[in-house]
């Protein structure tokens, strides 16, 4: 067992961890000792997995070697965190080593709880059961789409919140419906979206636009339906109704294709740690991203308690705030409450069409471009397929922070 010390320890080498490390390296004194704890050898641009599942983006383009993304001068500890010990300014690693810190940045991401759906782990990757939430299965989604024929039934599921990229469960439903339309099969197929939430999308402005998209495709939208079991052999999916008037009632649907978005939660070592709130998330101030109890601990990304939509775009706005506040804390200055809950969901509604949903806390719509944000646009498709991946690899993960501001004063509603 070894003990090491670093000025800043970042737990998690995903989007949040690499972005914070790169930004700190650009803005902090060069002698600041930074380490990232990350066991994975590969780093994925996960927002493109919807496109992989839709047959328009190669999986290999979403992957880079983790070590190649770690900024120069930052130590990569290839290990996994096992236990947070904030009272000792320490993290216990799976290897038994202990790393201590002056400042901790906790961004370990989420875990996919496949086993919370009965029968799902054994069903994935065969018999029409697929998911874009894993690199292991995203390509199989495209295979499933291509096997649909006249009379086929395709189901798309969404669990209870929170989970990452809340738009993804219906993005692939629209790409599938658009594929069927192009093949002349849509009217003879049954496409159904089942969501455990009470509406199609959490922001009412965009929910109205998406309701129109679903109607255009003839897609059924079934709210308050939570997937609880999959029988791959007989191709049946069982849903439990979570609305009060029918709570606990179960319905079973046949399928030819079943795209599953699994329930998600913070890693177990987070849930059991002193950093977690009652719901199991790392308890932070939603504007400064500093822990509510431990002044030298910051968190961002999917495992943080801030009530924003869990997207890469949210991390893009959170990371500069975390970096500024670490440096301000080091200098004894007041923290910057600069994160306003911004998130973005580029909602693919067809091949070549995207609604760019941008919003902050409270569901307020805050577009970046001076365009009606409720409209499907080709330029948004280009941003999704080409612009955002380039920005991710060559700008965001390099610690560059400047981006056009989102319009917090926008108040229009012209999607009708």
- Look at the block and give the residue holding tokens 């806390």: 361
Does 414 have pLDDT greater than 60?
no
Mean confidence (pLDDT) of the chain: 96
For residue 143 the two structure tokens come to 């295979």
Does 38 have pLDDT greater than 50?
yes
At 110-153, the pLDDT tens digits run 999 999 999 999 999 999 999 999 999 999 999 999 999 999 99
Q: How many CB atoms lie within 10 A of CB 169?
A: 24
At 310-353, the pLDDT tens digits run 999 999 999 999 999 999 999 999 999 999 999 999 999 999 99
**pTM of the entire predicted model:** 0.96
Known catalytic residues?
A: 165, 345
Q: By the 8 A CB rule, do 158 and 72 touch?
A: no
CA 8/CA 36 separation, integer angstroms: 9
Q: By the 8 A CB rule, do 145 and 54 touch?
A: yes
At 225-272, the pLDDT tens digits run 999 999 999 999 999 999 988 999 999 999 999 999 999 999 999 999
Torsion angles phi and psi, residue 280, rounded to 5: 95, 5
CA 45/CA 256 separation, integer angstroms: 29
Instruction: Give the confidence band of 415 by pLDDT, cuts at 50, 70, 90.
Output: very low
CA 103/CA 7 separation, integer angstroms: 6
Q: How many CB atoms lie within 10 A of CB 158?
A: 26
CA 121/CA 50 separation, integer angstroms: 20
- The whole-number pLDDT of residue 413 equals 58
Q: By the 8 A CB rule, do 56 and 145 touch?
A: no
CA 18/CA 35 separation, integer angstroms: 10
Beta bridge partner(s), residue 310: 164
Q: What is the mean pLDDT of residues 274-290?
A: 98
CA 301/CA 306 separation, integer angstroms: 9
At 179-227, the pLDDT tens digits run 999 999 999 999 999 999 999 999 999 999 999 999 999 999 999 999 9
Helix 312-330 and helix 15-27, axial crossing angle in degrees, nearest 10: 40
Q: What is the mean pLDDT of residues 66-94?
A: 98
Domains of the chain: 3-111+265-330 (3.50.50.60), 112-264 (3.50.50.60)
For residue 412 the two structure tokens come to 């229009």
Q: What percent of the chain has pLDDT over 90?
A: 96
Per DSSP bridges, beta strands 220-222 and 42-44 are unpaired
Torsion angles phi and psi, residue 408, rounded to 5: -80, -5
């Amino acid at each position: 067992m070894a003990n090491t010390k670093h000025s800043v320890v970042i737990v998690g080498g995903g989007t949040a961890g690499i972005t914070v490390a790169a930004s700190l390296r650009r803005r902090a004194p060069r002698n600041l000792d930074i380490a990232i704890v990350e066991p994975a050898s590969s780093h994925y641009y996960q927002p493109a997995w919807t496109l992989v599942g839709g047959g328009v983006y190669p999986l290999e383009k979403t992957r880079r070697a983790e070590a190649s993304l770690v900024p120069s001068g930052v130590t990569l500890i290839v290990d996994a965190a096992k236990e947070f010990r904030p009272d000792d300014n320490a993290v216990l690693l799976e290897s038994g080593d202990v790393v201590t810190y002056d400042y901790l940045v906790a961004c370990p991401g989420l875990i996919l709880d496949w086993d919370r759906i009965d029968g799902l782990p054994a069903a994935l990757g065969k018999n029409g059961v697929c998911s874009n939430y894993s690199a292991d299965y995203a390509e199989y989604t495209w295979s499933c789409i291509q096997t649909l024929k006249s009379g086929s039934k395709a189901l798309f599921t969404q669990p209870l919140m929170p989970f990452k990229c809340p738009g993804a469960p219906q993005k692939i439903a629209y790409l599938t419906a658009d594929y069927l339309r192009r093949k002349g099969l849509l009217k003879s197929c049954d496409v159904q979206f089942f969501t455990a939430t009470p509406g199609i999308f959490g922001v009412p402005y965009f929910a109205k636009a998406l309701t129109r998209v679903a109607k255009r495709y003839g897609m059924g939208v079934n709210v308050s339906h939570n997937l609880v079991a999959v029988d791959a052999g007989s191709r049946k999916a069982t849903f439990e109704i979570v609305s009060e008037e029918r709570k606990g009632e179960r319905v079973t649907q046949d399928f030819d294709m079943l795209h599953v978005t699994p329930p998600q939660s913070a890693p177990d070592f987070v849930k059991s740690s002193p950093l977690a709130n009652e719901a199991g998330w790392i308890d932070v101030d939603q504007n400064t991203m500093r822990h509510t109890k431990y002044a030298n601990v910051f968190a961002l990304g999917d495992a943080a308690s801030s009530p924003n939509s869990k997207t890469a775009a949210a991390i893009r706005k959170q990371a500069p705030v975390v970096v500024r506040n670490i440096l301000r804390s080091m200098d004894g200055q007041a923290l910057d409450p600069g994160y306003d809950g911004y998130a973005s969901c580029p909602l693919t509604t067809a091949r070549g069409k995207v609604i760019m949903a941008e919003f902050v806390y409270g569901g307020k719509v805050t577009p970046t471009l001076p365009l009606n944000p409720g409209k499907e646009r080709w330029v948004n498709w280009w941003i999704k397929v080409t612009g955002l991946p380039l920005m991710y690899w060559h700008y965001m993960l390099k610690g560059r922070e400047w981006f056009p501001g989102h319009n917090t004063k926008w108040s229009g509603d012209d999607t009708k």
